[in-house]
């Protein structure tokens, strides 16, 4: 058995597992996003993906900071209720 070939097979298997895990993760994220209202989704993405502050989000969406906090609170609540996604992120699902 060729040692170089064996390490390539392990690398390929690891790559395949990583791709499957990535697909599963993004599938869960899409399912979660589908459960949010338009404003909850927009605010959640701006806050956690783009890492904008509440003030920056309010300015960009022409809404009050209070309205942004309400949408964000609701989105976070729904996120916490999504057990599959939270378990996946915490590493409980392998």
pLDDT at 26: 87
pLDDT in tens, 33-91: 999 999 999 999 999 999 999 999 999 999 999 999 999 999 999 998 988 877 877 77
Q: Enumerate domains of the chain plus CATH numbers.
A: 3-90 (1.10.10.10)
pLDDT in tens, 17-31: 888 888 988 888 899
CA distance 5 to 10: 9
pLDDT of 93 strictly over 70: no
Largest CA distance in the chain: 66
CA distance 87 to 91: 6
């Amino acid at each position: 058995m060729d040692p170089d070939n064996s390490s390539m097979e392990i690398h390929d298997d690891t790559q395949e597992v990583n791709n499957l895990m990535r697909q599963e993760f993004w599938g869960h994220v899409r399912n979660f996003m589908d459960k949010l209202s338009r404003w909850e989704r927009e605010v959640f993405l701006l806050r956690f993906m783009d890492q904008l502050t509440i003030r920056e989000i309010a300015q960009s969406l022409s809404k009050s900071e209070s309205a942004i906090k309400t949408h964000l609170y609701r989105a976070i609540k729904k996120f916490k209720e999504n057990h599959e996604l939270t378990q996946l992120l915490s590493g409980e699902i392998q």
